[in-house]
Amino acid sequence: MKRVYVNEQWCLGCHLCEYYCAFANSNETDMVKALKDIVIHPRIQIEQKDNISFAVSCRHCEEPLCVKGCITGALSINEGVISVDQNKCIGCFTCILCCPYGAISAGDESIIQKCELCTNNKHGSPHCVKGCPNNAIVFEER
């Protein structure tokens, strides 16, 4: 299955992935309209220290602890993509407790949000990867 992989060596810490993510999940068609004057809560996040930076988003594990641990059944695997049923999630954050990558975060309306490889929005494939100027994140089969 194609996943987002990180090539830390090439991450510039430009944070564009975060903005492309936030835009992709905004359901707006214009990035300015989507992101102007807001503080973004992207599903991919840069960790940065000194000259090291890299992006972290859901790894879409084959044996996902978050899904196994989910108390409501809101998290499930659909064709390899771990997605969240926002209608079912009640924001207990057991998945945040479980995720070894720190890739799940609290979203708006006190439920969780996570990368669904943009299968949940109109872009269809990870928009963060499209926004990365240096192939520091790639969407591929490994």
Which spans of this chain sit near another protein (rule: CB under 8 A)? 3, 5-10, 12-16, 19-20, 23, 31-32, 35-37, 47-49, 51-52, 54, 56, 59-65, 68-69, 71-73, 87-88, 90-102, 104-106, 110, 131, 133-136, 142
**Complex with another protein: residue 94 or 120, whichever CB lies closer:** 94
Residue 34: CB minimum distance to another protein, A: 8
Residue 43: CB minimum distance to another protein, A: 13
d(CA 75, CA 97): 14
d(CA 138, CA 142): 11
**Complex with another protein: residue 49 or 122, whichever CB lies closer:** 49
**Complex with another protein: residue 125 or 135, whichever CB lies closer:** 135
Residue 124: CB minimum distance to another protein, A: 19
Q: What contacts 51, CB < 8 A, 6 or more positions away?
A: none
Residue 120: CB minimum distance to another protein, A: 18
E strand map for the chain: 2-6, 45-49, 52-56, 75-78, 81-84, 105-106, 112-113, 137-141
Helix %, strand %, coil % of the chain (to 5): 25, 25, 55
Residue 61: CB minimum distance to another protein, A: 4
3-state secondary structure of 33: helix
Token pair 């591929």: residue: 140
